[in-house]
Amino acid sequence: MINYQKHTLPNGLTVVVNRDRSSKLAAVNLLYKIGARNENPSRTGFAHLFEHLMFRGTKAVPDFDTPVQMACGENNAFTNNDYTDFYITLPKDNIETALWLESDRMTGLDISQENLETEKRVVIEEYKQRYLNQPYGDMSMLLRALAYRVHPYRWATIGLSPDHIAGASLDEVRDFYRRFYHPSNAILSISADIPEERTIALCEKWFDPIADNPQPAASLPQEPPQTESRREEVERNVPATMIVLAYHIGSRTSPDFFLGDMTSDLLAGGESGRLYQHLVREQRLLGSVNAYVSGEVDPGLFVFTAQLLPSTTVEQAEAALLREIEILQTEKIDEYELEKIKNKFEANTLFGELNVMNKAMNLGFYEMLGDLPLINREVTIYRSQTAEQIADFSRRTFRPENRSTLIYRAKQ
């Protein structure tokens, strides 16, 4: 159970604070509601570019990292399709250093041509190294393009092409900053051993003076239901052939997300999972296998991945995966098997609540979802799921017409 207080500043900044009496550290998390899904299809990769630019400094603080280090802190950030997250951990007595730095770069970022060109080169090189020159690097890109037709999830956080970043003008980048980096588009969440009222007062001190720049929310195209099986095959210079099956599921707050998450643990919760036991250990068809839900805000994907052994054909592996799905849909799920998964989820949740950074991040994430109390309801949701509900989810979801299949063949 995470106790918290929520407060909204006059400029629209949402503040969520938690008092953690067990830690001497403060975790300051600033989430901006800007991810790859908010980008222009002709200018993708901007959210990720800004994750880099935000560390280039401001006119007041040219080097962001040095004050953090002087305050004995650590900081980092990440971007995904739904949001961008910046976080700092430091001794609680130095919390104002984090608030000062985050409030300064919320509106004072130094977006010069020199800084922009430097980060462009970094991002383009990252694109090449991680996605173009890495084994299996473009697999997720191919899968997104296959599974989605209109929703912005059809491109990865890094973007559709490095040309989009290479061609970005200074005016375009500055406009992106003005549109998305402002108080009412952000959530500041903090966990520290400081009274909640005191933490909120400090947030008011540092963020109240910032004027908001509200922008009309752009509507995103909704992905229509998939009505036909899709398939794509590519050949790459990789060690082993991979099969990827993707099925559309509900949004992050929908009942089907939780059922899908439970199903993925049932199938691929480590070496005790069904897929590993049956397809790796017993039948010796695969070198590795996994199943997971994408967990994105809008309707996402349930994904199977399977790495084939040299002696296994694509047809054999694909048939074996579909057979495991059929078993899940038609045969009774053992209650003991289900209980183990529920216990694991509850233990992981409780363990995660011991860490101040986990708590600060999660408070920001669930507020971004629009259901902050969900942070304390999820264990109950998972506990309430039944074997029949999981079987029903499997029958509704794992249908041929809802499937996108990517065959990622190793070159002979």
Give dist(CA 157, CA 200) in Å, integer. Answer: 32
Q: Which residues contact 111 (CB under 8 A, 6 or more apart)?
A: 53, 170, 173, 174, 177
Contacts for 367-374: CB closer than 8 Å, 24+ residues apart: 367/6, 367/14, 367/16, 367/31, 367/187, 367/189, 368/31, 368/33, 368/82, 368/83, 368/187, 368/297, 369/252, 369/253, 369/297, 370/253, 371/253, 372/4, 372/6, 372/16, 374/253
Q: Can you give the pLDDT at residue 121?
A: 96
Q: Can you give the pLDDT at residue 133?
A: 87
Q: Can you give the pLDDT at residue 201?
A: 98
**CATH 3.20.20.60 matches 230-410:** no
Q: Can you give the pLDDT at residue 194?
A: 97
Domain with CATH 3.30.830.10 in the chain: 4-208, 230-410
Q: What is the pLDDT of residues 143-163, one digit of tens each?
A: 999 999 999 999 999 999 999
Q: Can you give the pLDDT at residue 11?
A: 97
Q: Could you say which residues of the chain have pLDDT below 50?
A: none
pTM for the whole thing? 0.95
Q: Can you give the pLDDT at residue 132?
A: 87
The full DSSP string for 298-348 is SS-EEEEEEEEPTT--HHHHHHHHHHHHHHHHHSPPPHHHHHHHHHHHHHH
Q: Can you give the pLDDT at residue 27?
A: 98
Token pair 């011991």: residue: 354
Q: Provide φ and ψ at 255, rounded to 5°.
A: -55, -35
DSSP letter at 370 equals T
Q: Can you give the pLDDT at residue 258?
A: 97
Q: Which residues contact 32 (CB under 8 A, 6 or more apart)?
A: 83, 84, 85, 86, 180, 181, 185, 186
Q: List the structure tokens of 170.
A: 């200074």
Give the rounded distance of the alpha carbon of 246 from its chain centre. Answer: 17
Give dist(CA 161, CA 82) in Å, integer. Answer: 19
CATH for 4-208, options being 3.30.830.10, 3.40.190.290, 3.40.50.2030, 3.30.1340.10: 3.30.830.10
Q: What is the pLDDT of residues 342-368, one digit of tens each?
A: 999 999 998 888 899 999 999 999 999
Token pair 């588009």: residue: 185
Give dist(CA 14, CA 344) in Å, integer. Answer: 32
CB atoms within 10 A of CB 343: 12
